Structure 1
Amino acid sequence: MSPYFVSDWSPLHDASIHGRLLTLTKLIKQGCDVNLVTAAQVSPLHEACLGGHAACASVLLKHGAQVNGVTVDWHTPLFSACVSGSVACLNLLLQHGASLHPPCDLASPIHEAAKRGHVQCVEFLASHGVNIDHNIKHLGTPLYVACENQEVNCAKKLLESGANVNSGKGLDSPLHVAARNCSVELVTLLIDFGADIWVKNDESKRPMELVPPGSPVGRLFLQKEGPLSLMQLCRLCIRRCFGHKQHQKITGLLLPEELKHFLLHV
């Protein structure tokens, strides 16, 4: 079922959310308006993308569905596709002129994808030019959101794409939230990508001060307190030189595979 409460739900919306392609095609042939919206301004295209039904989305778009329609909650079809994790829908929407820039910070597609652990959506958006460091006051950066929800693979994909490892939510860094969640995997990942273990949040606390006594994460911080190795300094420096899309750029370098694997954290 759709999460929206609607007072004027139509058969077209119903077919779209459930992926009933034949029914949808029949309704359109009978003259149903593909841009019919509910009281909450939800279109059939929103619902097709929310259900992850690319075939239905394709039919709607071919018949003139508004690709950048906005609901009362500021959701676009692109945002809905990130809720469902459908790269196929994202690709279709982009082909039909969808805007990658959210009309409002209350519904940012890349933040939603990062929150839900949809790695392929994060990768798709990052590779098509979405600002992966977009910092929203009430959410923080996509990396912060991924760490907050302990979505390790999304965090890794963002870091590989060149996300700023220290940019979080206000003074709270991704490492702060990873430490607070006692995630060894995330803390290790962030430190490997150059996270500052000494940075203080708005309570003047360093990440290591947020870890409960005796936690494995606390021991990990103690191991990392010393100066960085020359190898790690070189890796961080090289990655910074490449900026965004650094993963793809490093992959294409004429270097021994072992060295590329080191730079890529493989």
Structure 2
Amino acid sequence: MDDEGTNQSASKLQGAGGQASATSLSNPLMRDFVSDWSPLHDASIHGRLLTLKKLIKQGSDVNLVTADQVSPLHEACLGGHAACASVLLKHGAQVNGATVDWHTPLFSACVSGSVACLNLLLQHGASLHPPCDLASPIHEAAKRGHVQCVEFLASRGVNIDHNIKHLGTPLYVACENQQVNCAKKLLESGANVNSGKGLDSPLHAAARNRSAELVTLLIDFGADIWVKNDESKRPMELVPPGSPVGRLFLQKEGPLSLMQLCRLCIRRCFGHKQHQKIAGLLLPDELKHFLLHV
């Protein structure tokens, strides 16, 4: 593959992230630290483990970065190649290095949906907290529907209600992108059902997308159907009255049932990670399933 083809491939794989630079740096003092797209980057993004090991043995620097600060470790995680990431980390790759777009290897692993890469990175000291709100791993995983990544990050103590001004909470991002399974996993892990983006709640996002499944899920977890956004509109006012979602809202307008009120109260008492705590209770399976929304 020629250099142009490699750079194009890298650009496509980065997606919303940084792109491999094709700009040559003329300063010879910088050549030991900054590079264009290198064979090490190419081996990492394509998961060529033997080639990667050979290049490292020949003296290639595992922390060689492009002009956009993209390292081989970023590329290994972006490709979801845990074996390559492991080799790079064992040879001293910087686990928290950030690109010019503030993408860390942890963020790249959430782009690819690789739990194996996430686990490796955390074992080597990766920070769960993004260096900048422009690139939050938990938001990216929720946006792309990577449920296992969301579950893994939540189990490791990431702030699942991290509210970013231009994105909102991970739950809001999941609802905005109609990622039902991610939304459910976040709610099971204790996410605030009413915390969204500014005054816009996750239920507003679900209503705007006319997703009956998300609307039902959020209301079951206690979403406020009367809350108003910055346009003074309630979620039900964002859908046509005669539509399936509109009819669903009409059904939910009345007071909650005693069973639903009890379920919400019990879950609030347990706080975060209710699904783990409730599952361990000495209760009949039928009751545990009800509390867990199974």
Q: Which whole-Å deviations, capped at 9, do the CAs of 1:4-24 have from their partners, x for residues lacking one?
A: x99700000000000000000
Q: Give the conservation status (yes or no) of the 8 Å contact 1:83–1:113.
A: yes
Give how far 1:97 is off.
Answer: 0.4
Q: Which whole-Å deviations, capped at 9, do the CAs of 1:18-63 have from their partners, x for residues lacking one?
A: 0000000000000000000000000000000000000000000000
Q: Give the conservation status (yes or no) of the 8 Å contact 2:171–2:202.
A: yes
Give how far 1:242 is off.
Answer: 1.1
**Alignment correspondent of 1:25:** 53
Distance 1:232 1:6, change over 3 A: farther
Q: Give the conservation status (yes or no) of the 8 Å contact 2:241–2:247.
A: no
Q: Give the conservation status (yes or no) of the 8 Å contact 1:146–1:155.
A: yes
Q: RMSD of the TM alignment (CA)?
A: 1.4
Equivalent in 57, 67, 71 of residue 43 of structure 1: 71
Q: Distance in 2 between matches of 1:6 and 1:181?
A: 44
Q: Give the conservation status (yes or no) of the 8 Å contact 2:35–2:64.
A: no
Percent identity at matched positions? 96
Q: Distance in 2 between matches of 1:242 and 1:34?
A: 45
Q: Distance in 2 between matches of 1:7 and 1:211?
A: 52
Give how far 1:231 is off.
Answer: 0.3
Q: Which whole-Å deviations, capped at 9, do the CAs of 1:177-232 have from their partners, x for residues lacking one?
A: 10011000000000000000000000000000000242100000000011100000
Q: Which whole-Å deviations, capped at 9, do the CAs of 1:124-168 have from their partners, x for residues lacking one?
A: 000000000000000000000000000000000000000000000
Give how far 1:74 is off.
Answer: 0.2
Q: Distance in 2 between matches of 1:57 and 1:238?
A: 42
Q: Distance in 2 between matches of 1:107 and 1:177?
A: 21
Give the aligned length.
262
Q: Distance in 1 between matches of 2:166 and 2:71?
A: 27
Q: TM-score, normalised by structure 2?
A: 0.88
Q: Distance in 2 between matches of 1:18 and 1:214?
A: 50
Gaps of 5+ in 2: 1-32
Q: Give the conservation status (yes or no) of the 8 Å contact 1:12–1:27.
A: yes
Q: Which whole-Å deviations, capped at 9, do the CAs of 1:62-113 have from their partners, x for residues lacking one?
A: 0000000011000000000000000000000000000000000000000000
Q: Distance in 2 between matches of 1:262 and 1:154?
A: 20
Give how far 1:245 is off.
Answer: 0.8
Distance 1:206 1:42, change over 3 A: same
Q: Distance in 2 between matches of 1:180 and 1:63?
A: 48
Q: Give the conservation status (yes or no) of the 8 Å contact 1:6–1:40.
A: no
Q: Give the conservation status (yes or no) of the 8 Å contact 2:52–2:84.
A: yes
> SS state of the match for residue 105, structure 1?
coil
> SS state of the match for residue 16, structure 1?
helix
> SS state of the match for residue 127, structure 2?
coil
Q: Give the conservation status (yes or no) of the 8 Å contact 1:82–1:109.
A: yes
Q: Give the conservation status (yes or no) of the 8 Å contact 2:78–2:111.
A: yes
Give how far 1:244 is off.
Answer: 1.0
**Following TM superposition, where does structure 1 have runs of at least 4 consecutive aligned residues deviating by more than 4 angstroms?**
none
Q: Give the conservation status (yes or no) of the 8 Å contact 1:161–1:245.
A: yes
> SS state of the match for residue 59, structure 2?
coil
Distance 1:118 1:6, change over 3 A: farther
Q: Distance in 2 between matches of 1:237 and 1:108?
A: 31
Gaps of 5+ in 1: none
Q: TM-score, normalised by structure 1?
A: 0.97
